[in-house]
């Protein structure tokens, strides 16, 4: 009789211990799942997906200071491409220049006015001349603000009968401004000037 009662008591202790282990295990598993879910949510919040040509591409968010050299070089490159890319069409010239003026101060406007007064753009249109530029490199000094830069580029002037290749070097400074649709990098080029612009070669077409 006592042996039977003892067996029942031992069995009950085993069941209780097993139940406690199952409950504790379930609790730990639930806590681990909640932790991993929050961890995954935190990682996901730092990701941005950009739709390009119908495909979702992941872009990681970062502090502005981490991207300043890259954005600064692209700002300078974009400005030069807009300022020096022309076709024999007054609307194209005006459109490019308007976009370029958002990226620089009055120093760019002054260079444009000088070219305009000298009849440069009129000669492009009347002579059916196109102008292209390839920015080879942009050197930026990030040690001192405003950031000084020097841009090295190759300019192509395409005429009906010939094509002229020119060397172009400009310099200036970059100042931080608010970002906008017209100025997505948030920089403004100041004291911009051309320090070299000479012919390299002329080829017949």
The encoded tokens of residue 57 equal: 């591409």
Hey, which residues does 173 pair with through a beta bridge? 148, 190
CATH number, domain at 98?
Answer: 3.10.450.230
| Per-residue pLDDT at 40 exceeds 90 | no
87 domain-assigned:
yes
Q: Please determine, for residue 103, whether its predicted confidence score (pLDDT) is greater than 70.
A: yes
Confidence grade of residue 199 (pLDDT, cut at 50, 70, 90)? very high
Find, among 151, 150, 158, the residue nearest to 132 by Cα.
158
**Contacts for 153 with CB less than 8 Å, ≥ 6 apart:** 80, 84, 133, 134, 135, 136, 168, 169, 170
Residues 35, 71: one domain? no
What is the model's pLDDT at position 32? 84
Domain count, the chain: 2
By three-state DSSP, how is residue 187 classified?
strand
Residue 38 has pLDDT above 90, yes or no: no
Q: What is the DSSP letter of 51?
A: E
Residue range of the domain that includes 144? 65-204
User: At residue 1, does pLDDT exceed 70?
Assistant: no
């Amino acid at each position: 009789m006592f042996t039977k009662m003892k067996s029942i008591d031992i069995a009950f202790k085993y069941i209780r211990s097993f139940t406690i282990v199952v409950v504790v295990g379930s609790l730990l598993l639930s806590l681990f799942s909640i932790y991993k879910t929050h961890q995954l949510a935190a990682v996901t919040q730092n990701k941005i997906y950009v739709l390009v040509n119908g495909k979702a591409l992941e872009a990681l968010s970062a502090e502005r200071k981490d991207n300043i050299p890259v954005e600064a070089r692209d700002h300078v490159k974009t400005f030069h491409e807009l300022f020096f890319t022309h076709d024999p069409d007054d609307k194209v010239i005006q459109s490019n220049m308007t976009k370029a003026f958002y990226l620089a101060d009055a120093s760019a406007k002054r260079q444009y006015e000088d070219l305009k007064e000298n009849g440069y753009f009129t000669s492009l249109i009347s002579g059916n001349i196109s102008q292209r530029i390839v920015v080879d490199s942009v050197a930026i000094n990030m040690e001192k603000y405003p950031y000084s830069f020097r841009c090295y580029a190759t300019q192509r002037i395409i005429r009906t009968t010939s094509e002229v290749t020119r060397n172009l070097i400009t310099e200036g400074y970059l100042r931080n401004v608010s970002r906008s649709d017209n100025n997505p990098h948030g920089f403004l080029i100041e004291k911009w000037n051309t320090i070299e612009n000479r012919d390299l070669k002329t080829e017949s077409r």
